Amino acid sequence: MADEVVLLDFWPSPFGMRLRIALAEKGIKHEYKEEDLKNKSPLLLKSNPVHKKIPVLIHNGKPVSESLIALQYIDETWNDNAPLLPSDPYLRSQAKFWAEFVDKKVADFGRKVCMTKGEEQEAAKNGLLDCIELLEGELGEKPYFGGETLGFVDVTLVPCYGWLSVYEKFGNFSIEAEHPVFIAWGKRCLQKKSVSKSLPDQQKLYDFVVQLRKRHEIE
């Protein structure tokens, strides 16, 4: 029986981007369904009744929600190529630890840099820079967090790299100046087709946030 894979997503979502990259890395044929978050589809509401959020991966009718959980599901189900997690339990634990760190901290700081102002925005900028510094430490001399190839942490973090120039514009700061290692890593990831075709155009992202800020009356 042929696998039926559907991804419910929203184009600017860094969480959705993770799954796009993973599916592309593993060459998994799937149907991409763009959700209108102001008018959520019955399929989304049925597939993720608890949170009603994207992304949701639907494999042969069974939904998997939460991007890191779906990444692990993809890695365990399509385990014959492009492994995202290493086989050693300790290295796996470190990858999961750092992916959770990115999930908990980086995305939230990034969102606040775009959607707040004044003191709250300053705190978010500093938070984001602190996170990037810690992550650079973890990356060390390796080309990717996964070693010689893209791994779990790379796939989790690279969407934030995709949002970088947007964070810099709204936060009025330069991440590149302070963190060349992080930038070099991001550019290296972008050379992979699975990444470059999964990250949206930065200008489009910028315009999206401008509209969002207007709607939320942030000046």
Site string for another protein, 112-151 (x = CB under 8 A): ----------------------x-----------------
One residue of 92, 169, 188, 213 binding another protein per CB under 8 A: 92
**Token digits for 213?**
């800020």
CB neighbours (10 Å) of residue 165? 15
How far apart, in whole angstroms, are the C-alpha atoms of residue 49 and residue 184? 40
How far apart, in whole angstroms, are the C-alpha atoms of residue 89 and residue 12? 33
The verdict on 45 binding another protein (CB under 8 A) reads no
For residue 192, report the phi and psi dihedrals to the nearest 5 degrees: -80, 135
Site string for another protein, 163-192 (x = CB under 8 A): ------------------------------
The verdict on 64 binding another protein (CB under 8 A) reads yes
Q: Please tell me the count of residues contacting another protein according to CB under 8 A.
A: 22
One residue of 9, 25, 35, 66 binding another protein per CB under 8 A: 66
Residue ranges that bind another protein, judged by CB under 8 A: 50, 59, 62, 64-66, 69-70, 72-73, 76-77, 89-90, 92-94, 96-97, 100-101, 134
